[in-house]
A and B are shown apart, each in its own frame.
Chain A
Amino acid sequence: MSSAPQLVAVLALCAIWLAIGVAGLAALHRFHLVARVLFPAGGAVALAIVAAALPSVWGAPQSVVLPLGLPGLPFHFRLDGLSALFLLVLGGTSAGVSLFSAGYFRQSEGTAPGLLCLQYHVFLAAMALVLLADDAYAFMVMWETMALASFFLVISNHRIAEIRRAGYLYLLIAHIGALGILLCFGVLQANTGDYSFANMRAQHLSPFWASAAFLLALAGFGAKAGLVPLHVWLPEAHPAAPSPVSALMSGVMLKTAVYGFLRVAYDLLPVQFWWWGVLVLALGLASAVFGVVFAAVQSDMKRLLAWSSIENIGLIFAGIGLSILFAAYKMPAVAALALTAALYHVASHAFFKSLLFVATGAVLHATSQRSLGKLGGLLRVMPWVGWASLLGVLASAGLPPLGGFVSEWLLLQSFLFTPGLPNSFLNMLVPAVAAVIALVAALAGYTMVKFYGVIFLGQHREEKLAAARDAGSWERLGMAWLVAGCVVLGLFPAQFLDILAPVTQLLVGASLADASGGSNWLLVPVSVERASYGPLFFFAGVAASFGLAYFLVRRLYHGRLRRAAPWDCGFPWLTARMQDSAEGFGQPVRQIFEPLYRMRRELPTAFDARPRYAVEVGDHFWHWLYLPLARLVESAARAIGALQQGRIAIYLLYSFATLMALLLWVTR
């Protein structure tokens, strides 16, 4: 045991999480205990996990076997660089979210606080254990426990039918995805009956079986991550969940799917084929475009963020796809670059999306409004939440010098290496692909401006918003932690790359550290000549000219300021309703990308006495894939249901026919 100190520590910390959950169950209705003691304790445990996992990024893999599980298949746990990296993301994000939750959950909302505490901490522990699992059974158990715990969290306000529906869809797709993963492990174990990952690594699969395993993994983990076309649950489940839970689901749980996919694609499968990479790249890009285009037209703030998560997951998978492509062509250095981009985005998305989700939670509590059409001007009444979200929004829009930009930068850099691929078809494909990435990044900016502008800027769209209260101190603390994460990831990429280097070394056999030449302040993927990015200098440059300008203007001229009503163009009734609405802001995108939506519009004519305007944006996948599928199942069920039509003579006939068939079979 002593040979695996960090792993044992992390396992023990998971056990503490579980214990906190059970304590919550014991203190079912003692709200203050649960909120003020247990949730912060959970946050502390998260920090401890960060501390325990950090050294093992560089250390040798550690493993532990617990006497649980199936006979002959005890739970194996293993902590290597990849696990440690994702544990860092988990611990780092959930520390902030737990702190936020301490102030967030209210007494009289849906599920009892103690039960929420149990589900929340089981969710966290299950995610951590997914990252540690080193055999298929432990992995699947933790994986499904994670899905189950998050499902219960999603429906914690289960009296609303819509939320139940969302939870149902979520768990259904999660379960089907899990079956896919399970079958993938079935392939990987190669009929040896040994489900440990160690054995799977040792197997040499034929190309057919390897591809089968890969496709199953892609489908299974893709369903969890929200890749198109398995994304439909995501925009339903995230808004339904309480905000800290949405934050965890979007920030961390989706990343466990990324983790699982990397684990299978790079660690358990011995080889990669180039078309795998193309497939993943295509799916990732489709998700990115689809996600951002839908995010731009949402009018529910959490739903907008959920679609944006699909977009970001798409970018992550695009990076992974690219790295598989490079790895298949034996270009480890570039594969490491693309993989670094993906992993970096994993971390930065975890922080900024959690931040934005908890911010929406604070807004939701202050205003009890989720619809963008009824918010506005909150920056003035909720400055803490407002300024924290501004940073989240900037990071999410992929703007320098914050975390989101670094990963996009790395991703675009790796695209520039595709002309080196020994496949002319792929060479042709890639510019188009890079253009799509650029478009997605720009649209993300559009979406985030809409998100922030409509919620926090302008005038209050409803009277009562003026009375909204800013977040409490626990919530501020949580948000501040997450903001710090975004900023640190944005300003100190070279330092974070030190953590990523052993991981990419592990997966593709190369890392960016080989190339950067040891520069601590510049991000250098290959050489300074080729490309570099120094966010600190960058930030210093902007800040310096900002400061100089401010100083000089004050010094040379004056600082006089007058307040007056905004200019009303001579039209005396300037009301809040004249501001651009969320729908209005989405209109250009809706128009440009019209074929991607399934729109139902209700437009007024010039003569309507009571003009009404409505637009409903639907998902083609839902209409052309899921509904037909549901109908197919329904009609199949109807057809099969006719078998059971109540007449005993018919039933006897079935028996008779079965007997005849079997007799024919055996005498054949």
Chain B
Amino acid sequence: MSTLFFLLGLPLAGTVALALNGHRRFAPELNIAFSSGTFLAAAALTARVVAAGPLYAMEREFHIDALNVFLVALTAFVALTTAIFSRPYMRVKLEHGRMTPKRLRLYHSMYQLFSFTMLLALTTNNMGFLWVAMEAATLATVLLVSVYRTAASLEAAWKYFILCGVGIAQALFGTVLLYMAAERAGAGADGALLWTHLDAIKTSLDPRIMALAFAFLFVGYGTKVGLVPVHNWLPDAHAEGPTPVSAVLSGLLLNVALYAVLRCKVLTDGALGPGLAGQMMMAFGLLSVVVAAFFLSRQRDVKRMFAYSSIEHMGLATFAFGVGGPIATFAGLLHMTVHSLIKSALFFAVGHAAQHAGTQVMSEIRGLVRVNPTVGWGMMLGALAILGMPPFGVFASEFLILTTTMREQPWATPFLLVALGVAFAAVFKRVQPMVFGETELKPLPHPPALIPVFLHLGLGLMLGLYIPPYLEGWYREAARMVAG
């Protein structure tokens, strides 16, 4: 249990420590240190789960199984690389005067709090705590998004707060209904919200209550996933917050929210039989993919564009889970992983690029590859990877999703085809001139943090060509759990 303790304790301690010291010169390093500690704990925990199977802690309040363990590892990893990335990034911001030491303190502290809430949401076995952690994550990220205190960032944060707050309130109602169904199915008051317990009795949960509960839960957590039409907070928050925050929002928060939806889906499927939840997820996933693809073609702000791309990809993953079956579910999980890796890498590259240009407006970023070839190529490869170009992992998952859809749900393929085509046209049209062509950009004052970018891209590449057996084992196990 000590690893779990460290996993959750370290970021919490980091929150406090950075709340006190976050403005100091060594704060970024401290941030990295806490994140690496968390990552090590996550790695150790992963190793344990790989070796010994699912584990419980604190009277079953915490539960690590195949579904969440890889997300825990991923979350800790992305949190670490983002912390590394944010060091030079924030230094530039500090010099430009957009950050003050005070804000930096808030930023660092909230960063740790955010990773704590993410890990809590993932590891908790209690659906109530899941909700609490998600809400807390909203609060932490709202502060992160608004950290520049500009008009736009305040607006974005406000919308984020209100929309996600309202959304997640629906999820709370769903949780209440879930509790009610559990109580009725004979669960004792103590265990009634424990997911493992619910999972055990899921077939005896009342279908009518569960259907209603899933509707609320889906709207609630779906808002955080960024599903159309409840996605509206997402582009604003991504575009106006600091880039490291955009990276973790896309890389972690969306995943965790989708994870919550998946947990609920398993229970709903158990109670109602497969169908309803899957159809809902397919419908909203597909809608998200299509709508986001069209949105992509109208963007001028680079981060906003990639935010819409996140909507598209989360939609695709949601759709895959909706299709169900071992292959599509496997693909959905893989998609979550690679999207998180690649998208955060993209945001890293975008962050540096925007600092080069002093703007996020894409038409003013030109010829990156000539000022800084590594950032330029990072962005190019990242964009191609996220657009589903092999041999990156996104392609692998899209391959599985599309081929499965073609036979399972052929009606959806024209939509997917149009959406992926439009998305490719839109994103690539804008990325290409940013990376190539003539330029008037200037070099950066500090060397950019390129290790995170290429580490992520490298992992994304690896997942496209080779999935290690233990990872594959998790995916299969998790897919079995989700798909039933």
Q: So, do A and B actually touch in the complex, CB under 8 Å?
A: yes
Residues of A within 8 A of B (CB): 67-71, 136-137, 140-141, 143-145, 148, 155, 158-159, 161, 164, 167-168, 171-172, 175-176, 179-180, 182-183, 185-187, 189-191, 193, 195, 633-634, 636-638, 640-641, 643-644, 648, 651-652, 654-655, 657-659, 662-663, 665-667
Whether B407 lies near A190 (C-beta < 8 A) is: yes
| Docked pose: A508 CA to B466 CA in angstroms | 36
Whether B390 lies near A654 (C-beta < 8 A) is: no
Whether A665 lies near B163 (C-beta < 8 A) is: no
Known: A144-B395, A159-B437, A655-B230. A662 touches B219 (CB 8 A): yes
B406: interface (CB < 8 Å): yes
Which of A168, A182, A193, A666 is close to B402, meaning CB atoms less than 8 Å apart?
A182
Whether B467 lies near A71 (C-beta < 8 A) is: yes
Known: A186-B404, A666-B211. A637 touches B464 (CB 8 A): no
Q: Which 9 A-B pairs have the closest CB atoms?
A: A186-B406, A186-B403, A158-B436, A71-B472, A666-B211, A662-B215, A651-B232, A141-B390, A191-B407
| B400 cross-chain contacts in A, Cβ below 8 A | 70
Number of interface residues of B (CB under 8 A): 70
Interface residues of B in 414-458 (CB under 8 A from A): 417, 420-422, 424-425, 428-429, 432-433, 436-438
Whether A136 lies near B403 (C-beta < 8 A) is: yes
Whether B407 lies near A648 (C-beta < 8 A) is: no
| B326 cross-chain contacts in A, Cβ below 8 A | 193
B166: interface (CB < 8 Å): yes
Known: A144-B389, A145-B390, A159-B438. A659 touches B295 (CB 8 A): no
Specify the chain A residue showing the minimal Cβ separation from B396: A70
Whether B212 lies near A141 (C-beta < 8 A) is: no
| Docked pose: A634 CA to B106 CA in angstroms | 42
B384: interface (CB < 8 Å): yes
Which of A140, A183, A193, A657 is close to B390, meaning CB atoms less than 8 Å apart?
A140
| B166 cross-chain contacts in A, Cβ below 8 A | 652, 655
Whether A168 lies near B396 (C-beta < 8 A) is: no
| Docked pose: A311 CA to B170 CA in angstroms | 61
| A634 cross-chain contacts in B, Cβ below 8 A | 297
| Docked pose: A67 CA to B293 CA in angstroms | 35
Whether A179 lies near B384 (C-beta < 8 A) is: no
| A657 cross-chain contacts in B, Cβ below 8 A | 229
* Nearest Cβ on chain A to B136's Cβ, whole angstroms: 21
Specify the chain B residue showing the minimal Cβ separation from A653: B229
| A658 cross-chain contacts in B, Cβ below 8 A | 219, 229-230
| B403 cross-chain contacts in A, Cβ below 8 A | 136, 182-183, 185-186, 189, 195
Known: A187-B406, A644-B232, A652-B163. A662 touches B280 (CB 8 A): yes
> What is the predominant secondary structure among interface residues of chain A facing chain B?
helix
B255: interface (CB < 8 Å): no
Whether B295 lies near A182 (C-beta < 8 A) is: no
| B162 cross-chain contacts in A, Cβ below 8 A | 648, 652
Q: Kindly list 8 other residue pairs between chains A and B, CB separation below 8 angstroms, not including A175-B389, A633-B297.
A: A71-B472, A141-B464, A144-B390, A158-B437, A182-B403, A186-B402, A648-B159, A658-B230
Interface residues of B in 333-381 (CB under 8 A from A): 367, 369
Whether A636 lies near B294 (C-beta < 8 A) is: yes
Q: Would you give 21 A-B contacts (Cβ < 8 Å), ordered by A?
A: A71-B475, A148-B384, A148-B389, A168-B428, A172-B421, A172-B424, A183-B413, A183-B417, A185-B403, A186-B405, A190-B407, A637-B294, A640-B295, A641-B298, A644-B295, A651-B163, A654-B230, A655-B163, A655-B170, A658-B230, A659-B215
Whether A189 lies near B390 (C-beta < 8 A) is: no
Whether B466 lies near A69 (C-beta < 8 A) is: yes
| Docked pose: A648 CA to B158 CA in angstroms | 9
| Docked pose: A636 CA to B421 CA in angstroms | 14
* Nearest Cβ on chain B to A177's Cβ, whole angstroms: 10
Specify the chain A residue showing the minimal Cβ separation from B164: A655
Whether B428 lies near A171 (C-beta < 8 A) is: yes
| Docked pose: A640 CA to B287 CA in angstroms | 12
B233: interface (CB < 8 Å): yes
Which of B163, B230, B294, B438 is close to A633, meaning CB atoms less than 8 Å apart?
B294
Whether A663 lies near B429 (C-beta < 8 A) is: no
Specify the chain B residue showing the minimal Cβ separation from A193: B327
| A659 cross-chain contacts in B, Cβ below 8 A | 170, 215-216, 219
| Docked pose: A665 CA to B467 CA in angstroms | 39
Whether A164 lies near B295 (C-beta < 8 A) is: no
| B404 cross-chain contacts in A, Cβ below 8 A | 186, 191, 193
Whether A637 lies near B298 (C-beta < 8 A) is: yes
What 1/0 flags go to B224-252 for Cβ under 8 Å of A? 00000110110100000000000000000
* Nearest Cβ on chain A to B396's Cβ, whole angstroms: 6
* Nearest Cβ on chain A to B274's Cβ, whole angstroms: 15
Whether B467 lies near A179 (C-beta < 8 A) is: no
* Nearest Cβ on chain A to B105's Cβ, whole angstroms: 29
Known: A179-B417, A644-B235. A71 touches B476 (CB 8 A): yes
| Docked pose: A272 CA to B413 CA in angstroms | 24
| A71 cross-chain contacts in B, Cβ below 8 A | 467, 469, 472, 475-476
Whether B464 lies near A633 (C-beta < 8 A) is: no
| Docked pose: A652 CA to B469 CA in angstroms | 45
What 1/0 flags go to B282-299 for Cβ under 8 Å of A? 000000000100110110
| B167 cross-chain contacts in A, Cβ below 8 A | 655
Whether A654 lies near B229 (C-beta < 8 A) is: yes
| B437 cross-chain contacts in A, Cβ below 8 A | 158-159, 161, 164
Residue among B233, B406, B420, B425 with the most chain A CB within 10 A? B406
| Docked pose: A587 CA to B170 CA in angstroms | 71
B29: interface (CB < 8 Å): no
B85: interface (CB < 8 Å): no
B223: interface (CB < 8 Å): yes
| A148 cross-chain contacts in B, Cβ below 8 A | 384, 389-390
| A643 cross-chain contacts in B, Cβ below 8 A | 229, 291
Whether A168 lies near B429 (C-beta < 8 A) is: yes
| A141 cross-chain contacts in B, Cβ below 8 A | 390-391, 395, 464-465
| B408 cross-chain contacts in A, Cβ below 8 A | 191
| Docked pose: A70 CA to B437 CA in angstroms | 36
Specify the chain B residue showing the minimal Cβ separation from A156: B436
| Docked pose: A637 CA to B388 CA in angstroms | 21
Whether B215 lies near A666 (C-beta < 8 A) is: yes
Whether A164 lies near B432 (C-beta < 8 A) is: yes
Specify the chain B residue showing the minimal Cβ separation from A144: B390
Whether A172 lies near B159 (C-beta < 8 A) is: no
| B395 cross-chain contacts in A, Cβ below 8 A | 140-141, 144
Whether A140 lies near B465 (C-beta < 8 A) is: no
* Nearest Cβ on chain B to A144's Cβ, whole angstroms: 4
| Docked pose: A189 CA to B407 CA in angstroms | 9
Specify the chain A residue showing the minimal Cβ separation from B163: A651
| Docked pose: A179 CA to B416 CA in angstroms | 10
Whether B405 lies near A179 (C-beta < 8 A) is: no
| B402 cross-chain contacts in A, Cβ below 8 A | 179, 182-183, 186
| A69 cross-chain contacts in B, Cβ below 8 A | 465-466
Which of B218, B298, B399 is close to A638, meaning CB atoms less than 8 Å apart?
B298
B387: interface (CB < 8 Å): yes
| Docked pose: A159 CA to B369 CA in angstroms | 11
| B425 cross-chain contacts in A, Cβ below 8 A | 172, 633
Whether A175 lies near B232 (C-beta < 8 A) is: no
B17: interface (CB < 8 Å): no
| B388 cross-chain contacts in A, Cβ below 8 A | 175
| Docked pose: A70 CA to B472 CA in angstroms | 9
Specify the chain A residue showing the minimal Cβ separation from B210: A666
* Nearest Cβ on chain B to A618's Cβ, whole angstroms: 21
Specify the chain B residue showing the minimal Cβ separation from A142: B390
| A144 cross-chain contacts in B, Cβ below 8 A | 389-391, 395
| B159 cross-chain contacts in A, Cβ below 8 A | 648, 651
B214: interface (CB < 8 Å): yes
Which of B216, B291, B399 is close to A640, meaning CB atoms less than 8 Å apart?
B291
B90: interface (CB < 8 Å): no
| Docked pose: A136 CA to B406 CA in angstroms | 14
Which of A145, A155, A191, A636 is close to B436, meaning CB atoms less than 8 Å apart?
A155
Interface residues of B in 298-326 (CB under 8 A from A): 298, 326
B176: interface (CB < 8 Å): no
